[in-house]
Structure 1
Amino acid sequence: MADLKVSSETPTINDHENDIEGEKTRRDLDLEQAFAEDYPDGGLRAWLVVGGTVASTFSTFGYVNAWGSFQSYYEKTVLADSDASKIAWIGSVQYALILLPGLLTGRMFDLGHFKLPNFFASIILILATFLVAECTKYWHFLLCQGFVIGLSCGVIFGPTMGVVGHWFKRRRATALGITACGSSVGGTIFPIIGSKLIPLVGFPWTMRIIGFILIVTCGFSNLAMSRRLPPKNVKGGLFNFAAFKNAQYSVYAAGSFVAFLGLYTVLTYIDVSATHYGVSPDISFYLLSIANFSSGFGRVITGLVADRTGAVNYIAPMTVIAGILTYAWPFAHSFGAMVVIAILYGFSSGAYVSSFLLPLFEMGEIADIGRRTGMVMSVAALGAVAGPPISGAINSATGGYNAVGYYAGSMIMLAVVLMLITRQLALGRLVGKY
């Protein structure tokens, strides 16, 4: 009888399975509670994270946004035997690869893998910058500056928006607007560094100095940025095709692709076009810095306004202005006229570039934000890699920039139409916050 009593109290396989199931249920409830709780939306730690994201965008998008000054320098010196369209492929690869890895890094971020990829990509970015100083042939620059720097910047930049989303909700647009300022500051400073230092210390040492700057900024971003919410394995795998069954997500992704077919044309060619129209190279390089500096104000204001009006309600009209200015740019033949174009274009285009991912936060749960933004960034990357070379080919075929402006401006306008269709699909009416 004693033996039977002991046997009856021995745990069974069903009991063990029930315990596992209960533990899983409790863990899922804990995750749901973590994602549902109030966001800090401020405080020292949250703003320190934003400071880290500013340093991150400075080192990545800011660095890549300075490509126009490299394009101009390479056309006149070390790559003078290559045509503009061929050289533009280096910058286009950068533009594409800063977006394309978002598919992988976004998914990794959702699963909790952030610190190590960010750290190793930072090291590769710095080493590649030092290697550019030793480049002498086209394929050297394409490999080091195009592929390696572009890919490492993409791994760093990809999760940045997700990090901000972990710490901010009500003031998310403001935080993202401040984050995007880092790219404007970088895009302003790096061209000036290049133009001032190359005559003094030469191109190789200029690149080394940029490398030392990146050691500081990447180091700070690695220390300051961190996740807040627990990792969550949302169903769907690396590329969630089911997301494209949502019409508003699919249309918005298509709009992002079309937008990047046109958006980087002015930033890539405004310096070169200025010298084409007789502006001195000693001052033409300032145009890119002016555009990026003005973009910083556009990005901050977008963040402040979008929290109140909705992202698309603000960035759509601002992107229309960017499209109109793209049409007007080839007809600005004096330095003064080009400065006006640079200021207004930088301000208006900054609204889209800084906030085009913001509507995606409302298209699903925050636990899946890394993958959701990563997929759109990967689609946008295809536009970024094709846009500037297409513009360069049009320039080579026509011998001028008028047709280039018509092409790029039309792509930007089409992107606005797709944004407005997305808004209509989401709201089902003409008036409303979105």
Structure 2
Amino acid sequence: MGTSTTTQDSTMSESPPPPTTFREGGYGWVCVACTFLMNAHTWGINAAYGVFLSYYLSSDIFPGTSSLEYAFVGGLSISCAMLIAPLATYLDKRISTRFVLNLGAVLETLSFIASSFAKKSWQLFLAQGACFGFGMGLCFCGSVGITSHWFEKKRSLVNGIGSAGSGIGGLIYSLAVGKMIPELGLPWSMRTLGIICFVVNIPCANLLRVPSQKRSATSVKAPTFPLSLFKRLDFALLLAWAFLSALAYVTLLFSLSSYCVAIGLTQQQGSLASALLSLGQAFGRPAVGLLSDHFGRIFISMIASFLAGLLSLVIWIFASSAGLTYFFAIIVGLFAGTLWASAAPPCRGDCGNSTSRDCAGGYLLRNEVGSSKPYLRVQLFAGFVYVGSAACLAWLLIEVRRKRRVARLETDKSDL
């Protein structure tokens, strides 16, 4: 009798606990706010590099540094942010998400402090390029998936809100940097940004967390990535779209402010153009995410990529006044960041393969200095690369529909 009772108690203790009812939102809204703020103080501040680039090109603060080398700094930051993803994932599993986020916040702060003391271009590469990129990547990889654990019905909405933080941050810090540099000087502008990043990102890093009932699931070892995917045409087309979209986006983002200076506008007007581009993204990214749920991610991404390219070719090339440039910045911002809004999770690992592609704008500009349209090659490059990325998705749509027709035919034959 005693043995039977003991066995029964042991069996009962080993049975799985009853499923916990999923509660939509709750503390999740705190995580949404923290993700929004972290995006504003990582990708948003990174978007202000166009203002820094404009200042570097118009001054002689680092003598002997070429436009290509300055463009390399911005490209290096984004490349490092993507390249750090495998390490960020490993640290997240082996240690904790909180460790990854705090490490990223500290590295980002150190990057600005170190940049404020830079005297040579290679020091700028290491500080504002590599160190900032690693910090930004750790913060992004650690925070990007957390809000999805707290929501089911409103998942697209909350991810859109979190992603919009980069647009709002870009709007604020493009204007702020354009104002701080002439009034505070470059060193104290850098230090101010570093202090702000630390004050905002550290609390957010410690407030972000996954729901308790899902923590055990996140600790399960992730499945091995199937290398056979690279043999599939549809996967190759998706990667090609991600690669080309990132290439065109970075070229546009880092060229717009310096373009304004090149056509005779002031540096503050250039920073305003960058801010308006970020404002467009603040509205465009959530809208693209929601539209993707209703009309399909591939279709909406294709339309947005094509429109970004068309606007670059039709409006940007002929924008020779402040008003038209501002209009272009807002309208293209609605579509330019489609990659991050609608398809960043499945293809973010492809965006950090090379630093050289992010410097393409600087290389093309270097070959056009002195011409009547010094940014023509940059504008054509961004426009046609966006159109090319849209063509990849058009091909992908055709391939997906072809596979669906084949599947239906096989189903009909099996029914016979």
Q: TM-score range by the shorter chain?
A: 0.7 to 0.9
Matched, 1:50 2:32: yes
The match for 2:384 is 410
Contact 1:193 1:206 in 2 (8 A): no
The match for 1:401 is 375
Aligned mates of 2:253, 2:28 — CA distance in 1: 32
- How much does 1:202 deviate? 1.8
More deviation, 88-97/241-250: 241-250
The match for 2:359 is 389
Contact 2:54 2:261 in 1 (8 A): no
The match for 1:92 is 75
What amino acid does structure 2 have at the position aligned with 1:378? Answer: G
The match for 2:413 is none
- How much does 1:392 deviate? 1.6
Aligned mates of 1:260, 1:250 — CA distance in 2: 15
Residues 119 and 241 from structure 1, CA distance in 2 versus in 1: closer, same or farther, beyond 3 angstroms?
same
The match for 2:56 is 74
What amino acid does structure 2 have at the position aligned with 1:61? Answer: W
Contact 2:245 2:305 in 1 (8 A): no
What amino acid does structure 2 have at the position aligned with 1:419? Answer: L
Residues 300 and 179 from structure 1, CA distance in 2 versus in 1: closer, same or farther, beyond 3 angstroms?
same
Give 1:319's match in structure 2, choosing from 291, 305, 308.
Answer: 305
Which aligned runs of 4 or more in structure 1 are off by greater than 6 angstroms?
A: none
The match for 1:5 is none
Matched, 1:64 2:38: no
Give 1:298's match in structure 2, choosing from 284, 293, 302.
Answer: 284
- How much does 1:110 deviate? 5.8
TM-score by length of structure 2 reads 0.84
SS in 2 for 1:382: coil
The match for 2:274 is 288
Contact 2:55 2:267 in 1 (8 A): no
Aligned mates of 1:169, 1:412 — CA distance in 2: 32
Residues 316 and 109 from structure 1, CA distance in 2 versus in 1: closer, same or farther, beyond 3 angstroms?
farther
Structure 1: runs of 5+ lacking an equivalent: 1-18, 361-375
1:33-82 CA distance string (max 9 Å, x none): 98xx8754x42211111111111211211111111011111112213532
What amino acid does structure 1 have at the position aligned with 2:39? Answer: T
What amino acid does structure 2 have at the position aligned with 1:335? Answer: A
Matched, 1:161 2:122: no
Aligned mates of 1:310, 1:103 — CA distance in 2: 29
Structure 2: runs of 5+ lacking an equivalent: 1-9, 406-416
The match for 1:120 is 103
Matched, 1:233 2:221: yes
Aligned positions, number: 382
Aligned mates of 1:170, 1:108 — CA distance in 2: 30
TM-score by length of structure 1 reads 0.81
Residues 105 and 423 from structure 1, CA distance in 2 versus in 1: closer, same or farther, beyond 3 angstroms?
farther
The match for 2:250 is 264
Give 2:237's match in structure 1, choosing from 251, 267, 270.
Answer: 251
